[in-house]
């Protein structure tokens, strides 16, 4: 059960909600696209076909389901795939092993319920069983201070920066945490 944080001026959400996490399927592509669109500009804009292709090359792709509806997702890749993202390429050129968080997004109506944190705990758990670092990037221009704070809570460190024509991103890495 998840208890939502105080929604402030937003409409109060149901006090306690059932949330589950499951593997994503190609048939989820349209729902992923909807959630991704609601996350703009914090996530890159892509088509549902591109999301389906990402699922096919992913190492880990999970969805958060609330009240029977997919409301959040994370898609992660390993090094060496054919993915053409320059951000992914930056990590590929510098690290031999990593689990790359290509995107994480939560639908607007489910924000503040802890779905992003629940998904990241699963990503980190998956990486820890293999002693892999977790790689991600966060936009600096346009700024995304909420995402920087979020990644800081999960012990990500800034390991570089990459400039694009209309964007600048901080490259983040959570060091491998081998199981004791």
Burial environment of residue 12 by CB neighbours within 10 A (0 to 12, 13 to 18, 19 or more): exposed
Of residues 118, 117, 121, 100, the one with CA closest to residue 57: 100
Residue 12 scores a pLDDT above 90: no
pLDDT of residue 80: 95
Mean pLDDT of the chain: 87
User: For 147-158, how does the pLDDT look when each residue is reduced to its tens digit (9 = 90+)?
Assistant: 999 999 999 999
The pLDDT assigned to 9 comes to 33
Higher per-residue confidence, 46 vs 171: 171
Find the mean pLDDT for residues 96-121: 93
CB contact burial 128-143 (16+ within 10 A = b; e otherwise): beeebbbbbbbbbeee
């Amino acid at each position: 059960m998840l208890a939502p944080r105080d929604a402030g001026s937003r409409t109060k959400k149901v006090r306690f909600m059932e949330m589950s996490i499951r593997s994503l399927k190609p048939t989820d592509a349209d729902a992923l696209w909807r959630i991704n669109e609601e996350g703009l500009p914090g996530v890159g804009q892509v088509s549902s076909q591109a999301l389906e292709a990402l699922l096919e090359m992913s190492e880990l792709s999970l969805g958060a389901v609330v009240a029977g509806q997919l409301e959040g997702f994370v898609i992660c890749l390993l090094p060496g795939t054919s993915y053409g993202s320059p951000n992914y390429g930056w990590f590929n050129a510098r690290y031999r092993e990593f689990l790359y968080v290509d995107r994480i997004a939560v639908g607007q109506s489910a924000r503040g319920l802890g779905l992003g944190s629940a998904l990241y705990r699963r990503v980190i758990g998956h990486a820890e069983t293999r002693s892999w670092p977790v790689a991600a990037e966060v936009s600096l221009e346009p700024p995304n201070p909420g995402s920087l704070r979020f990644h800081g809570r999960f012990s990500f460190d800034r390991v570089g920066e990459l400039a694009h024509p209309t964007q600048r991103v901080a490259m983040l890495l959570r060091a491998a945490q081998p199981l004791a």
